[in-house]
Amino acid sequence: MHRAVLLLTCPDRPGIVADTATWIAAGGGTIVDAGQYSDAQHGLFLQRIEFDHPEPIDAVRASFATVARRWDMTWALHVPAPARLVVLTSWEAHCLYDLLGRCATGDLAASVAAVVSNHDDHREAAARFGVPFHHVPVGGSDDVAKAAQEAEVAAVLREVAPDLIVLARYMRILSHGFCDEFGPRMINIHHSFLPAFAGARPYHRAWERGVKLIGATAHYVTADLDAGPIIAQDVTRVSHADSPATMARRGRDLESLVLATAVRAHLEHRVIAYANRTVVFE
pLDDT digit string (tens) for 160-198?
A: 999 999 999 998 889 999 999 997 899 999 988 888 888
pLDDT (average), residues 60-88 = 97
Q: Do domains 2-78 and 83-280 have the same CATH topology?
A: no
In this prediction, residue 196 carries a pLDDT of 86
pTM over 0.85: yes
In this prediction, residue 97 carries a pLDDT of 97
Domain 83-280 has CATH 3.30.379.10: no
In this prediction, residue 84 carries a pLDDT of 98
Sheet holding 30-39, edge to edge: 30-39, 44-53, 2-11, 74-78
Report which of 226, 211, 229 is spatially closest to residue 266, judged by C-alpha positions. 229
Residue 224: partners with Cβ closer than 8 Å, 6 or more residues away: none
In this prediction, residue 38 carries a pLDDT of 98
Residue 226 catalytic?
A: yes
pLDDT (average), residues 140-164 = 93
pLDDT (average), residues 56-70 = 96
- 3-class SS string, 214-256: EEEEEEECCCCCCCCCEEEEEEEECCCCCCHHHHHHHHHHHHH
pLDDT tens, residue by residue, 97-107: 999 999 999 99
Pairwise CA distance, residues 154 & 51, whole Å: 36
Query: Among 56-65, 168-177, 191-200, 268-277, which is the least confidently predicted range?
Result: 191-200
Q: Are 187 and 218 in contact (CB under 8 A)?
A: yes
Residue 246: partners with Cβ closer than 8 Å, 6 or more residues away: 238
Pairwise CA distance, residues 205 & 197, whole Å: 7
Q: Which residues of 173-209 are buried (b: 16+ CB within 10 A; e: fewer)?
A: ebbeebbeebbebbbbbbbbbbeebeeeebbebbbee
Choose between 138 and 12: higher pLDDT: 12
Domains of the chain, by residue range, sit at 2-78, 83-280
Q: Are 225 and 198 in contact (CB under 8 A)?
A: yes
The answer on pLDDT for 157 being more than 90 is yes
Task: For residue 195, say if its preceding peptide bond is cis, omega within 30 degrees of 0.
Answer: yes
Q: Are 224 and 174 in contact (CB under 8 A)?
A: no
* Paired strand residues for 6: 49, 77
Distance set, CA 183 to CA 109, 179, 180, 221 (Å) = 21, 4, 6, 5
pLDDT (average), residues 262-281 = 97
Fold of 2-78: Alpha-Beta Plaits (3.30.70)
Catalytic residue among 52, 107, 143, 226: 226
In this prediction, residue 4 carries a pLDDT of 98
